[in-house]
Amino acid sequence: MKNSFSRAAIALLRASHFPQTLAMTVALGFCAWFTGVRDNNLALFVAAVLFGQFSVGWVNDFIDARLDRSVGRSEKPIVAGALETSSLKLPIAIALILVVSLSILAAGWIGGLAHILAVASAQIYNLYLSRNVWSWLPYAVSFALLPLFVAQSAAKTIWPELPMILLFSLVGVIAHLLNALPDVEIDREAGKGGLVVSLGRTRTLWLASVLICLAIVSLLSLAVGV
């Protein structure tokens, strides 16, 4: 019984795209701490981000289950038989409920709504835009909303500067491009894919390089107080 529960928990973590989930949670948690979020509010903030990322990863694996099977992605828990597709429904529902409540508790109505909309944008990617040339847009929108969530978690009088919003948005699109690159051949063979499949590997790397330069400019403008 205990081993069965452990296997199910590990499978759920894997289905959440755990390395990306952990990276986002730690990165945003650090941003919140650096901005001045502390104690219980920091715990609420981190929990909101964590369950938001869980929901996005689980919905992604739920929707892509058939495609993942067709291309033999055995690293996916559903394809490997470690997890049934239907068993993701309850965790997804719980995670989405917790995202709403934890986000508002951590950042109030404005900051909380920003994070809720960021998660909703990521789910729009999962449901509609992941396989066309607009796949970058939810990343740009979701990441652009995160500075408001961070700022309002610290104090309701703090608002993010425009270069910070631009920086986060650029980072989101860059993350999308680089994250999609390893699967570009699989997606192309399956007749699926977003912007990266349309551009190809070389043009994607060029675009990512340009966006990285723009992100550096945004970061420097923040550093010098422009």
Alpha-carbon distance of 180 to 139, in angstroms, equals 12
* Cα separation, 136 vs 143, whole angstroms: 11
- pLDDT tens, 174-205? 999 999 998 888 777 766 778 999 999 999 99
User: Which CATH number is 172's domain given?
Assistant: 1.10.357.140
Q: How many CA atoms lie within 13 A of 225 on its CB side?
A: 0
Query: Distance between CA 154 and CA 203 in Å, rounded?
Result: 40
Provide the domain count of the chain. Answer: 1
What distance in Å separates the CA atoms of residue 52 and residue 103, rounded to the nearest whole number?
Answer: 9
pLDDT in tens, 136-172: 999 999 999 999 999 999 999 999 999 999 999 999 9
Residue numbers of the domain that contains 109:
2-223
Q: Hey, what are 192's tokens?
A: 């699926």
Measure the N-to-C terminal CA separation of the chain; round to a whole number of Å. 59
Cα–Cα dist 61/226, whole Å = 42
Which among 78, 73, 80 has a CA at the least distance from the CA of 91? Answer: 78
Of all residues in the chain, what percent carry a pLDDT higher than 90? Answer: 80
48-91 pLDDT, tens digit each: 999 999 999 999 999 999 888 887 888 899 998 889 999 999 99
Give per-residue pLDDT as tens, 8-54.
899 999 999 999 999 999 999 999 999 999 999 999 999 999 999 99
pTM comes to: 0.94
Amino acid type, 221:
S
pLDDT at 133 over 90: yes
- Closest CA relative to residue 55, chosen from 146, 128, 126: 126
